[in-house]
Chain A
Amino acid sequence: MITISDLTVQFGGVKPLDSVDVEFPVGTCGLIGPNGAGKTTFFNVLSGFVNPKSGSVMAFDTDLFAMPHYRRARWGLRRTFQTEQAIEELSVYDNVAMVHEHWGENRSQRRDDVMGALGFVGLDHLDPRSKVGVLDARDRRLVEIARAVVGRPRLVLLDEPAAGLPDEETEHLAGVIRNIPEHMGALVILVDHDMSLVQNTCSITAVLDFGKLIAAGPTAEVLRNEHVIKAYLGTEDDEL
């Protein structure tokens, strides 16, 4: 369970996040909202790339903001990026092993853990020694997700993992994402614009608009919510 209280981020006169209070209980949770709603800023605050003006994040009884950013990864906070960031120069194996070795635990199990993560995302058909630079977009995405689940992740943040993927590949991705909580024991927060992916994977969904939380709850309910529909269609003037 992760509890976010009164989270505010301010860049000059702009507040990408404005007093956000939200809870993500278990499983895979969605975080949606129109462009510029503050979703990626939310992830950046959690990862430690952006310092909040106020607020706190308690993740499984740990104060996330008390740790420097690289320690958060060791604690079990993992993320992927909107523009995929698998390390091109390294092999598929090294990409995943790198995260494992900085995690620092379970050394003797590294090979098994890495191969397990690659198998989990469905990349066991690849030669683990092939360079990531030669892979196609789908496989690179999956390498990035393998990086996010290797070892013992506790909180996995996925930033638009389906961006740019065709439908049939998004389906495979949805299966992988759905399985993360059960197989890897982590809470997943998924940001995506693909509503069918969100519906397929997330039991709980929160909606941001202009930095404010406008709805949170069971996904189906949230997607029917009048404010949410208006925010997406851009007609709710009072939110501006």
Chain B
Amino acid sequence: MSAVDEQSGSTGTGAFAPRPQSRKVPAKTIVNTVIVVVGMLFLFFLLPTLTSNYWLQICTQVVVYSVVALGLALLVGRVGMVSLGQIALLALGGWVALRIGFATGLPFPLLMLAAGVMTGLFGVIIGLPALRLGGLYLALITLMAAAAISIVLQQTNFPNGGTGFLGYSITGSGTAALRRPDIAQQTEGFFRYTLIVGALMFLLAWIHVRGKPGRAWAAIRQSQPAALAGGVNITLYKLWAFALAAFMTGVMGCILAASGGGLTILQFPTQESISLLAAVFIGGVYGFSGAVVAGVFTKLVPALLDNWNLPPDLLLILFGVGVLQVLLTAPQGLAVQFPKDMAKLGRLIARPFTRGSKAKAEEAAR
């Protein structure tokens, strides 16, 4: 105990001496927090003034797909379950939001909530096989479920203000966008709105991972018998993970429905769930920044390729190479590897200047 007391005393948090968290906050946490805050401030205040509406719309999509990727990363990285149905759930969230949005005058936040909850329930249904199956079989079944949702949505179309249960009218304009919240009518405002909602979703996931569910998921991922022996209700926590991922995805479906000129099923090809999984692997399944990298890869990189007049199919090759590279050299993903490489590069550049204290530099390298 003396070691603990000593250290906590030195940080001046003696009142919480027995708390393991009572020690000094690690430098890494501070750096990460600063990066996140500065990044958010930049995106919120500066980015909308620096770029055109077209790129802002792309960035809105990056935020949407980052959250979808985060849901998938939670399932894959934290619980060890692969779902290939996330893009279909995104479409479903969009459908629910449009349907309720055209039928009622509910404010936008409530629409998001409704879309999230409905999609969450559907996520639980898709997750049911996960109680019995794992690995490849689960991936296959979720992919089939996604295909089923896509086929149904292809027949029903997305609501555009028509009558009846489906809310689709052929005579209408085909697609119609969900009305945006009053405070976010313009592209700039809507991007900021999306950014805030996305940040809240990341926060929601973070709270889960740091809390009781996160610990239960870690146990399930490593060993189901050990989790059971610890009193974890595996059924509950697996379905909870699916519900959470689907909820976040559904909320973003609502955002997507209001971001452009409405939705069509062509925006949600079933195979995109597979490329999203690849992007999540490239970004990294364990961390939260990996999901942002995945969002960038899924939406920003294709737009850039298009901008440079390169064929969009190049993305698939890029993903293939990316996944291979990550699996071989950086199993924790680019989000973890990139800062490491940068730090290494920094040391390499600094080496000629610190040659005098070589031993010191070596120590720092450790």
Name A188-213 residues within 8 Å CB distance of B. none
A89-B221 contact in complex given A97-B215, A98-B215, A124-B1, C-beta closer than 8 Å: yes
CA distance A81 to B222 in the complex (A): 13
Task: Identify the stretch in A7-15, A27-35, A111-119 within 8 Å (CB) of chain B at 4 or more residues.
Answer: A111-119
B183 interfacial contact with A, CB 8 Å = no
Distance in angstroms from B97 CB to nearest chain A CB is 35
Residue in chain A with minimal CB distance to B234: A70
Residue in chain A with minimal CB distance to B20: A128
B23 interfacial contact with A, CB 8 Å = yes
CA distance A80 to B226 in the complex (A): 8
CA distance A53 to B230 in the complex (A): 25
B103 interfacial contact with A, CB 8 Å = no
Residue numbers in A under 8 Å from B222 (CB-CB): 85, 87-89
A85-B231 contact in complex given A102-B216, A129-B21, A129-B23, C-beta closer than 8 Å: no
The answer to whether B225 and A90 have CB atoms under 8 Å apart is no
CA distance A127 to B234 in the complex (A): 29
Mask: chain B, 207-230; 1 = CB below 8 Å from A; 0 = not: 000001001101101110110111
Residues of A in contact, count (CB < 8 Å): 36
The answer to whether A74 and B231 have CB atoms under 8 Å apart is yes
The answer to whether B219 and A98 have CB atoms under 8 Å apart is yes
Name A69-106 residues within 8 Å CB distance of B. 69-71, 73-74, 78-81, 85, 87-91, 93-94, 97-99, 101-103
The answer to whether B215 and A70 have CB atoms under 8 Å apart is no
Residue in chain A with minimal CB distance to B229: A79
Residue numbers in B under 8 Å from A147 (CB-CB): 230
The answer to whether A119 and B1 have CB atoms under 8 Å apart is yes
Distance in angstroms from A198 CB to nearest chain B CB is 22
CA distance A73 to B226 in the complex (A): 11
Residue in chain A with minimal CB distance to B224: A49
Residue numbers in B under 8 Å from A47 (CB-CB): 225, 228-229
A125 interfacial contact with B, CB 8 Å = yes
The answer to whether B228 and A48 have CB atoms under 8 Å apart is yes
Residue numbers in A under 8 Å from B3 (CB-CB): 125, 127
The answer to whether A73 and B1 have CB atoms under 8 Å apart is no
Residue in chain A with minimal CB distance to B26: A129
B232 interfacial contact with A, CB 8 Å = yes
A90-B228 contact in complex given A111-B18, A125-B3, C-beta closer than 8 Å: no
Residue numbers in B under 8 Å from A124 (CB-CB): 1, 4
Distance in angstroms from A124 CB to nearest chain B CB is 5
CA distance A147 to B227 in the complex (A): 11
CA distance A169 to B19 in the complex (A): 28
The answer to whether A87 and B20 have CB atoms under 8 Å apart is no
Residue numbers in B under 8 Å from A81 (CB-CB): 223, 225-226, 229
The answer to whether B230 and A73 have CB atoms under 8 Å apart is yes
Distance in angstroms from B23 CB to nearest chain A CB is 7
Mask: chain B, 221-263; 1 = CB below 8 Å from A; 0 = not: 1110110111111100000000000000000000000000000
The answer to whether B229 and A98 have CB atoms under 8 Å apart is no
The answer to whether B233 and A93 have CB atoms under 8 Å apart is no
The answer to whether A101 and B225 have CB atoms under 8 Å apart is no
The answer to whether A73 and B228 have CB atoms under 8 Å apart is yes
Residue in chain B with minimal CB distance to A90: B218
Residue numbers in B under 8 Å from A112 (CB-CB): 18
Residue in chain B with minimal CB distance to A49: B225
CA distance A169 to B64 in the complex (A): 53
Most B Cβ at <10 Å: residue of A80, A89, A90 = A89
CA distance A111 to B4 in the complex (A): 14
The answer to whether A98 and B216 have CB atoms under 8 Å apart is yes
The answer to whether B230 and A98 have CB atoms under 8 Å apart is yes
Distance in angstroms from B288 CB to nearest chain A CB is 15
Residue numbers in A under 8 Å from B212 (CB-CB): 98, 101-102
Residue numbers in B under 8 Å from A115 (CB-CB): 18
The answer to whether A69 and B228 have CB atoms under 8 Å apart is yes
Residue numbers in B under 8 Å from A89 (CB-CB): 218, 221-222
CA distance A119 to B18 in the complex (A): 12
Which residue numbers of B lie inside 8 Å of A, CB to CB?
Answer: 1, 3-4, 18-21, 23, 212, 215-216, 218-219, 221-223, 225-226, 228-234
Of the A-B pairs whose beta carbons lie under 8 Å apart in the complex, a sample of 24, sorted by A's number, is A47-B228, A48-B228, A49-B228, A69-B228, A73-B229, A81-B225, A85-B225, A85-B229, A87-B226, A88-B222, A91-B20, A93-B20, A97-B215, A98-B230, A98-B232, A99-B231, A102-B230, A102-B231, A111-B18, A119-B1, A124-B1, A128-B20, A129-B23, A147-B230
- Contacts A73-B230, A94-B215, A98-B232 known; list 15 others, CB within 8 Å: A48-B228, A70-B233, A81-B223, A85-B226, A89-B221, A89-B222, A97-B215, A98-B215, A99-B230, A102-B212, A102-B216, A111-B18, A112-B18, A128-B20, A129-B21
